[in-house]
A and B are shown apart, each in its own frame.
Chain A
Amino acid sequence: MAEAKAIDGRSLVRRRAGLRLWLSASWLGLLCLVALFAPWIAPKDPLAQDLFLGRLPPFWMPGAEPGYLLGTDSLGRDVLSRIVHGARVALAVALIAGTITCLIGATLGLLAGFLRGWVDMIISRMIDIWMAFPPVLFSILLIAVLGPGLVSIIIAIVVIDWTRFARVVRAEAMAQGAMDYVASARVAGRGRPGTMVREILPNVLPTIVVLLTLEMGIAVIVEAILSFVNLSISTDDPTWGGMISEGRTSVHQAWWVLVFPLVTLFLTVLAFSQLGEGLKDRFDPVLR
């Protein structure tokens, strides 16, 4: 039996976590492929309007038109094609904004938590001040100043959300810094930068990975919220948030315009958060 080789019951726990990792990774992998090859995958031009084909229902309902699998919106644009193209913006924001936020926030948090002293003083006060701003208003204000566009959204997310990483990583680095293995590294003659990178970082990394995937999900939501209030990229380009906002006005006549992008958004955010947990369960040698 394979189980008998394991030292204890860890393998059992790990196997259950595998499904979570598998499902979330395949959804996100699929989404990445769809986003990359959107022009080839999308059955229609996402911007092509045809007022004669407005508010067509999805394929299984009476009155559906072949070729419009998930129906059309009030301007006759294909919902599926718009979701497929919307994945590009959503994933670009998730990956780029998530990664930059993580790098900046985690680095500042690690420095504050490990070095303590005046470095911690400055970074902690910055976090306190930052967190006093209401995030949604802050992002709307930022976009209003920077002007709409993909880069502005990414900047807004990074500027607002780095505190999320900094706070958690700082606390974790502080707890790890009090462990004897840090003192032991010093006895062994390791300098402080080396100790931070080689000793503390591997112990904080699982937390960072979970936060990173959570942040990617949050970035998708933030982009949707900004699209919803019309502050995302130009209104022509399809975004999930923009579709939800447009679908909202005609939800009684054509629910599918609202529901399909909403479900896609929901599944994507869920997949990101589950991916982090799944990765941690699978690859962390120390199962806590």
Chain B
Amino acid sequence: MADLYSIEALRLSLADMTAKPLFGAAPHIEILRGLSFTIPRGAVVGIVGGSGSGKSTLGRALVRLLEPSGGAIRFDGTDITHLPEAALRPLRRRFQMIFQDPMSSLNPRHRVATIIAEPLRLHGFDAIPDRVARALDHVGLPAHFASRYPHELSGGQRQRVGIARAIALEPDFILADEIVSGLDVSSQAQVLNLLERLVGDLGLTLAFISHDLSVIRRLCQRTIVLHRGEIVEDRPTADLFADPQAAYTRELLEAIPLPDPAQVWT
């Protein structure tokens, strides 16, 4: 199986505006410090880490919302590391993203139909109304939701619209950035079930960013653990849970609340 993504010594630094002197440039903070990994076609890869570990920055670099300052990102053989926006645009259909906060990621003044249809129109798809209907059906939303505005939907339904918008473009790769962390537990379970089913049905390659290892364990075959912008572990999820190598991974694992009826309360 060919690698869809191959990332080599990826570095990314951003200007630290809080430390900017009155005159002159702000100092840069290095957020990603030389990451190398691959994502094979069809894989579901989890990316975990605490807050500030750089997992969202890594995600945004993968879909080129951020430009890396060093290293290389190759997508299906094409080097997209420093590709200018115009050259990137035809490729953009192939890597999509689902955002953490669906209220913010759906334009409040567009109807659901427009939200899903606009990207299709931009990439010159035909039979757009059919595709919108099919995308809504895929994520289990009734067809009449197409004429609703985002504020008329519940949190879980909004996130489904976000998923529908991403899959409608028939991408090769989807990045899901903390997509269940804003939802209640039952919506979380529904969205995860949906994602699991879509990965199987559509043959998607998925990178799933989360701070919650129990969610990762359920969905991902492989897990990358990030800590302070570096990869501390990159192994099959089952191995990782059975025998965590890095001290940081053990910390994260211990943070999962486990049902333990035998616990002695003192």
Contact = CB atoms under 8 A, between A and B. Distances in A.
Interface of A: 7, 179-181, 183-191, 198-199, 202-203, 285-286
Interface of B: 60, 63, 65, 85, 89-90, 92-93, 95-97, 99-101, 104-110, 118-119, 122-123, 149, 151-152, 165, 169
Contact of B110 (A7, A179, A191, A202): A202
Contacts of A202: 107, 109-110
A187 B149 contact: no
Contact of B108 (A190, A198, A286): A286
A189 B107 CA distance: 16
B99 A184 contact: yes
Contact of A203 (B65, B89, B107): B107
Nearest to A198: B118
Nearest to B86: A191
14 contacts: A181-B105, A181-B108, A183-B60, A183-B97, A183-B99, A187-B96, A188-B123, A189-B90, A190-B122, A191-B85, A198-B118, A199-B107, A202-B110, A286-B149
Nearest to B104: A180
Nearest to A188: B119
A169 to B, nearest CB: 16
Given A187-B63, A202-B110, A203-B107, A286 B93 contact: no
A252 B99 CA distance: 69
A30 to B, nearest CB: 32
Nearest to A199: B107
Given A183-B65, A184-B97, A203-B109, A189 B104 contact: no
Given A203-B109, A286-B109, 19 more contacts: A180-B99, A180-B101, A180-B104, A181-B106, A183-B99, A184-B97, A184-B99, A188-B118, A188-B165, A189-B89, A189-B92, A189-B119, A190-B122, A191-B89, A198-B118, A202-B109, A203-B108, A285-B149, A286-B149
Contacts of B96: 187-188
Q: Give the most central of B60, B100, B104, B109: most A CB within 10 Å.
A: B109
A179 to B, nearest CB: 5
Contacts of A185: 107, 118
Contacts of A184: 97, 99, 105-106, 165
Given A180-B105, A198-B118, A188 B92 contact: yes
A191 B101 CA distance: 22
Contacts of A186: 65
A187 B97 contact: yes
B183 to A, nearest CB: 16
Contacts of A187: 63, 65, 92, 95-97
A185 B118 CA distance: 9
A189 B93 contact: yes
B161 to A, nearest CB: 11
Contacts of B90: 189
Contacts of B149: 285-286
A191 B90 CA distance: 12
Given A187-B65, A187-B97, A285-B149, A181 B119 contact: no
Contacts of B100: 180
